[in-house]
Amino acid sequence: MQRDPKYKIVVKFIEDKIRSGELSVGDRIPSVNAFKIRFPISRSSIFLAMEELKSRGIIEAEPAVGYYVRSESINVQEKVLLLFNELNAFKEELYLSFLEAIGPDASVDIMFHHYDRRVFETLLREAEGKYTSYVLMPGKFRGLSSTLSRIKGRIFLLDHYHADLRGLYPAIGQDFDRDTYDALVEGLPRVRKYDTLVLVQREAKEPEERYDGIKRFSDEYGFSSMLIPSVNDSPIRLGTLYLTADDRELVNLIKIAERDNLEIGKDFGIISYNDTPLKEVICGGIATLSTDFRKMGRTMAALITDSTPTTPIQTIRNPWMLLPRRSL
**β-strand pairing of 320-323 with 287-291:** antiparallel
CA angle 288, 291, 295 (to 5 degrees): 140
Strands 78-84, 133-136: pairing kind = parallel
CA–CA separation, 283 and 266 (whole Å): 12
Q: Within 10 Å of residue 122's Cβ, how many Cβ atoms? A: 12
| pLDDT tens over the chain, length 328 residues | 445 677 888 888 888 888 888 888 888 988 888 888 888 888 888 888 888 788 777 888 888 778 888 888 777 678 889 999 988 888 889 998 998 898 877 888 889 999 999 999 999 999 888 888 999 999 889 999 889 988 888 999 999 888 889 889 999 999 999 999 999 999 999 999 999 999 999 888 889 999 999 999 999 999 999 999 999 878 899 999 999 999 999 999 999 999 999 999 999 999 999 998 899 999 999 999 999 999 999 999 999 988 777 788 999 999 999 999 999 9
Domains of the chain, CATH where assigned: 8-69 (1.10.10.10), 78-174+293-319 (3.40.50.2300), 176-291 (3.40.50.2300)
The half-sphere exposure of 222 on its side-chain side, counting CA atoms within 13 A, is: 4
Contact 174, 291 (CB under 8 A): yes
232, exposed or middle or buried, with CB in 10 Å at 0-12, 13-18, 19+?
exposed
Within a 13 Å sphere around the CA of 32, how many CA atoms are in the beta-carbon half? 14
Collapsing DSSP states into helix, strand and coil, what is residue 212?
Answer: helix
Orientation of helix 209-221 relative to helix 176-186, angle to 10°: 40
- Rounded to 10 degrees, what is the CA torsion of 256, 261, 267, 270? 30
DSSP 284: G
